[in-house]
Structure 1
Amino acid sequence: MKTLLPTSTAGSLPKPSWLAQPEKLWSPWKLQNEELLEGKRDALRLSLADQQHAGIDIVSDGEQTRQHFVTTFIEHLDGVDFEKRETVRIRNRYDASVPTVVGAVSRQKPVFVEDARFLRQHTTQPIKWALPGPMTMIDTLYDAHYKSREKLAWEFAKILNEEARELEAAGVDIIQFDEPAFNVFFDEVNDWGVATLERAIEGLKCETAVHICYGYGIKANTDWKSTLGSEWRQYEESFPKLQQSSIGMISLECKNSHVPMDLIELIRGKKVMVGAIDVASNTIETPEEVAQTLRKALQFVDADKLYPCTNCGMAPLSRPIAMGKLQALSAGAEIVRRELTA
């Protein structure tokens, strides 16, 4: 029997304080070598248990084994020099020191497949795995080799497809590509962004998703959001193209954002992960607040296609707050489930 309104998270969950410094993005590891490997696995198990305890239906690794949702994947590829750094403007919002593409990019071995296998061994629940999308990957690098955002995106799409196929073989049920860049570079999204994403999912039989948000709750993002006015209509630019694509699910930010809920109408027919938890605030939502967001979304998406979710990753939050938010997500989904089946 398929669960109605199955809950999941957008990606990262806070790491335990013995593994990395809490409430910090790019937090360095506190362990090394064999101890680090063991620590990451322990954290993954803990993260799974936390999700199960909170009643989350579609579980993930909580990104416990990676420092950052984009660069950890890139670190495992050839053609990128992490010593050679340049400052670039990320998503037209903030400057960051990033590695340089110095040659042809390629993947010699799987990046997350062992971790996915490990997670699969520890649960019978559906698993969702997040990978960075091609456009967001190129936005986090300085390209001294291809000198073309589009060319590099197609190369990354091929590499992501190799990884995705192996993740599927390891038992992953949903592969999600994180594309916050889709909310910024609209012309590129329509010219080649969605097309490179389709290349990344080529040949997959499992469910596929794209996650488009307004970013973690860090200052650069909240400052940017405050300039967007009373209505955030960015999704209007990418949704028509995504609606026609072969991507199965679209994950978006709805709670405390100024996204008009009726924009979901533009992706009618797709499964929609509705962000009903604000990750940029330490206030824990009430189950009723979550239910309110879901009821609003149900005006524009059929109940069997609605997947309650978080707005974005929760790595920068404290563990107790993240847990409280996950419990609220489950409880809110349960309220609406009961209303739908009454």
Structure 2
Amino acid sequence: MKQLLPTSTAGSLPKPSWLAEPEQLWSPWKLQGQELIDGKTDALRVSLQEQRRAGIDIVSDGEQTRQHFVTTFIEHLDGVDFEKRETVKIRDRYEASVPTVVGPVSRPHSVFVKDAKFLREQTDQPIKWALPGPMTMVDTLYNAHYKSREKLAWEFAKILNQEAKELEAAGVDIIQFDEPAFNVFFEEVNAWGIACLERAIEGLQCETAVHICYGYGIKANTDWKKTLGSEWRQYEEVFPKLQQSNIDIISLECQNSHVPIELIELIRGKKVMVGAIDVASNEIETPEEVAATLREALKYVDADKLYPCTNCGMAPLSRELARGKLNALSAGAEIVRKELVAKLDC
């Protein structure tokens, strides 16, 4: 029988202190050469163990082998110069020094497939692998070659499709595309962003997901959230078209946010990863708080399509805090699971 309310994480988990500076987003590596390769592999093992011990059903690599959820993928592509940097405004929110697209982009070899194969060898559980989405990749670069954001996004979509097909062949069960840019550039999302995402998943047999959140708990994001008012209705702009898309799962943020949960009704019929853990807070949710979020979500999504999850990645948190939050996610899901089973038995 298929697991009811399978739990998972949205993305990153904290790295061990011997690999990178703890509680710091995009921290540089502390190791080099073969030591770094071995250290990343060991960190992946530890991350998997943390998820297993917490009772997480759909496991991931915790992004232990990558420094940044977007640029680590881009680093392996041709056509992008990391020495030639320009300052751009990322997601219309904060300025950052980014690499420059100087020529046609291409993927000379796979990026994460070796890591995915290693993860597959370590567990019989379903595994999920995250890739950056085309629009979010475009928004993290200075585009000197293509000029058009849309043209570059289509090229990235083709490259992501190549990687995704190899990840599927390596045994990945769910491939997730991270698209926080979908919460900002609504006209572009509806004009070409979702179409590019469809190109990225073309021909895949495994399940696919798109993760759209309000970001890590960093100052630039928390400051932006303060400007959004008492209701965060950004999902309303993109959910109708996503509901019509071929994406299987939509991953969204709910816990301790101002997202009206009834917006989930707009994607009725899709599987939904409901963010029931706030990654921008140092408070560990109680299992009952997680359960309450899930009960609310069940008003708008069928039980067999609800996947309890975290709002976003947890890289900036301490390992102890992340562990507590994962335990709360599992315990809260189990409360609601038992309630649903009891109803079926009645």
Q: Deviations over 1:231-270 (max 9, x none)?
A: 0000000000000000000000000110000000000000
Deviation at 1:214, TM superposition (A): 0.1
- Which whole-Å CA distance do the structure 2 matches of 1:143 and 1:242 have between them? 27
Query: Residue 172 in 1 paired to residue 172 in 2?
Result: yes
Name the residue aligned to 1:222.
Answer: 222
The amino acid across from 2:168 in the alignment is E
Deviation at 1:25, TM superposition (A): 1.2
- Which whole-Å CA distance do the structure 1 matches of 2:112 and 2:24 have between them? 22
The amino acid across from 1:63 in the alignment is E
Q: How many residues align?
A: 342
Name the residue aligned to 1:260.
Answer: 260
Name the residue aligned to 1:158.
Answer: 158
- Which whole-Å CA distance do the structure 2 matches of 1:27 and 1:86 have between them? 21
Q: Deviations over 1:119-145 (max 9, x none)?
A: 000000000000000000000000000
Q: Deviations over 1:27-66 (max 9, x none)?
A: 0000000000000000000000000000000000000000
Name the residue aligned to 1:73.
Answer: 73
- Which whole-Å CA distance do the structure 2 matches of 1:285 and 1:162 have between them? 39
Give unpaired runs (5+ residues) of structure 2: none
Name the residue aligned to 1:314.
Answer: 314
Q: Deviations over 1:260-289 (max 9, x none)?
A: 000000000000000000000010000000
Name the residue aligned to 2:117.
Answer: 117
Name the residue aligned to 2:6.
Answer: 6
Q: In percent, how many aligned pairs have the same letter?
A: 85
Name the residue aligned to 1:339.
Answer: 339
Name the residue aligned to 1:323.
Answer: 323
- Which whole-Å CA distance do the structure 2 matches of 1:21 and 1:115 have between them? 22
- Which whole-Å CA distance do the structure 2 matches of 1:126 and 1:136 have between them? 26
Query: Residue 50 in 1 paired to residue 36 in 2?
Result: no
Alignment of 1:16-31 (within 5 A): 16-31=16-31
Give unpaired runs (5+ residues) of structure 1: none
RMSD value, Cα: 0.3
Query: Residue 292 in 1 paired to residue 312 in 2?
Result: no
Aligned with 1:9: secondary structure?
coil
- Which whole-Å CA distance do the structure 2 matches of 1:26 and 1:264 have between them? 31
- Which whole-Å CA distance do the structure 2 matches of 1:52 and 1:121 have between them? 15
Name the residue aligned to 1:131.
Answer: 131
TM superposition score normalised by structure 2: 0.99
Aligned with 1:65: secondary structure?
coil
Deviation at 1:26, TM superposition (A): 1.5
Query: Residue 197 in 1 paired to residue 197 in 2?
Result: yes
Query: Residue 147 in 1 paired to residue 147 in 2?
Result: yes
Name the residue aligned to 1:92.
Answer: 92
- Which whole-Å CA distance do the structure 2 matches of 1:48 and 1:93 have between them? 33
Q: Deviations over 1:272-308 (max 9, x none)?
A: 0000000000100000000000000000000000000
Query: Residue 249 in 1 paired to residue 249 in 2?
Result: yes
